[in-house]
């Protein structure tokens, strides 16, 4: 995937930090590629990058205008079309992780052709996948799973990959969402794969490898989320994980976007995922729990992680605050 950088990250007038996870992921994990962010009046969240408008960023050398939001349903709000056209007039490629395709919008297509610019829909795979087989593959695989969607599975997966590599163990981050694909420049946005081929796409994403190698696979959705459980299940079966890390975010009263749907417990999530994982890997096990503790202070975060570890008998930490050393110790 040929995405030119540096990026100007567009976050519009967002007020929910989770809604700009595309932009925040790039800023946190590929800061060398991010020049600035473009925020409109009313925006109350930030990636932490310097603020620039389109013309300032173009003069500073921005090559791609990244639509940094990830709304429910992945739709492109028509109000952003003039802004996108302005960025194209300034010479920038457009990068989107939404379900709505840039290439399906005639005025963007015409402008891109006239200016010889790229419209990059990173969420939409161009590979033709086969159906899953469940056939055992050499190599090791870890999949992150969640009590809910948007709980930190990508951040946990990247943290685990970095720690395993630091120990001189061969490991590869396998992106399965638009944010992860933007960070790594490779992968498959699994929620845009036709349902029959989800497990096959996961198999192709984590192919047979050496017996020492670890594929660290980014999880998606949650088996307990009525909207996204299908994607989670196909990814779980195709990944054929030897190990699972359960991700959870503190402070939620219900499943994201569903006020009437209660959250499962961590124990329920462990049992549910292990039951389904064993269809393609009877030896699957949970090796740790990753908690997003951003809603509490540092002392509370440590106490909560210690309590969960005592309750479950598994290492538990916040990957951002505490690192993932204890989880990787248990894994290896």
| Mean per-residue pLDDT, 95-122 | 95
Q: What is the pLDDT of residues 121-172, one digit of tens each?
A: 999 988 889 999 999 999 999 999 999 999 999 999 999 999 999 999 999 9
Domains along the chain?
7-121 (3.40.50.720), 140-331 (3.40.50.300)
Average pLDDT, the chain: 95
* pLDDT at site 125: 83
- Confidence at 247, pLDDT banded by 50, 70, 90: very high
For the chain, what is the largest distance between any 2 Cα atoms, rounded to a whole number of angstroms? 62
Please compute the mean of the pLDDT values over residues 3-18 and round it to a whole number.
Answer: 93
Dump pLDDT digits (tens) for 17-61. 888 989 999 999 999 999 999 999 999 999 999 999 999 999 999
Q: Is the pLDDT of residue 73 over 80?
A: no
- pLDDT at residue number 231: 97
pLDDT at 74 over 90: no
H-helix or E-strand spanning residue 269: helix 266-277
Say what the pLDDT of residue 276 is. 98
pTM metric for this prediction: 0.91
Helices (H), 79-169: 81-89, 106-115, 153-166
Over residues 265-294, the mean pLDDT reads 98
Tally Cβ neighbours within 10 Å of residue 299: 8
The reported pLDDT for the residue numbered 63 is 98
> Residue 169: which of 218, 210, 204 has the closest Cα?
210
- Measured CA distances, 321 to 154, 219, 316 (Å): 15, 21, 12
Return the pLDDT at 185: 87
Place of tokens 């002392």: 299
pLDDT at 78: 92
Q: Is the pLDDT of residue 1 over 80?
A: no
């Amino acid at each position: 995937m040929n995405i030119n950088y540096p990026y100007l990250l567009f976050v519009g007038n967002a007020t929910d930090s989770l809604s700009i996870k595309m932009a925040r992921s790039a800023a946190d994990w590929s800061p060398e590629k991010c020049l600035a962010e473009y925020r409109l009046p009313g925006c109350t969240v930030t990636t932490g990058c310097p603020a620039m408008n389109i013309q300032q960023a173009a003069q500073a050398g921005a090559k791609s205008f990244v639509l940094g939001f990830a709304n429910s349903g992945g739709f492109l709000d028509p109000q952003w079309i003039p802004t996108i056209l302005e960025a194209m007039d300034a010479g920038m490629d457009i990068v989107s992780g939404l379900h709505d395709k840039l290439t399906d919008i005639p005025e963007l297509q015409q402008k891109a052709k006239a200016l010889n610019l790229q419209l990059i829909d990173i969420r939409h795979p161009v590979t033709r996948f086969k159906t899953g087989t469940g056939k055992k593959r050499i190599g090791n695989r870890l999949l992150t799973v969640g009590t809910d969607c948007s709980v930190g599975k990508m951040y946990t997966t990247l943290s685990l990959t970095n720690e395993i590599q630091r120990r001189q163990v061969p490991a590869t981050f396998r992106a399965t969402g638009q944010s992860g694909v933007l960070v790594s420049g490779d992968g498959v946005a699994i929620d845009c794969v036709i349902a029959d081929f989800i497990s096959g796409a996961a198999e192709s994403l984590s192919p047979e490898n050496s017996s020492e190698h670890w594929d660290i696979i980014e999880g998606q959705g949650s088996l307990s989320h009525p909207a996204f459980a299908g994607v989670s299940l196909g990814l779980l079966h195709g990944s054929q994980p030897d190990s699972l890390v359960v991700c959870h975010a503190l402070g939620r009263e219900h499943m994201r976007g569903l006020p009437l749907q209660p959250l499962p417990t961590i124990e329920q999530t462990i049992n549910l995922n292990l039951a389904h994982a064993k269809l393609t890997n009877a030896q699957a096990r949970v090796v740790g729990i990753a908690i997003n503790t951003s809603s509490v202070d540092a002392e509370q975060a440590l106490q909560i992680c210690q309590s969960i570890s005592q309750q479950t008998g598994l290492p538990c930490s916040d990957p951002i605050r505490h690192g993932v050393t204890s989880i990787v110790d248990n894994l290896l």
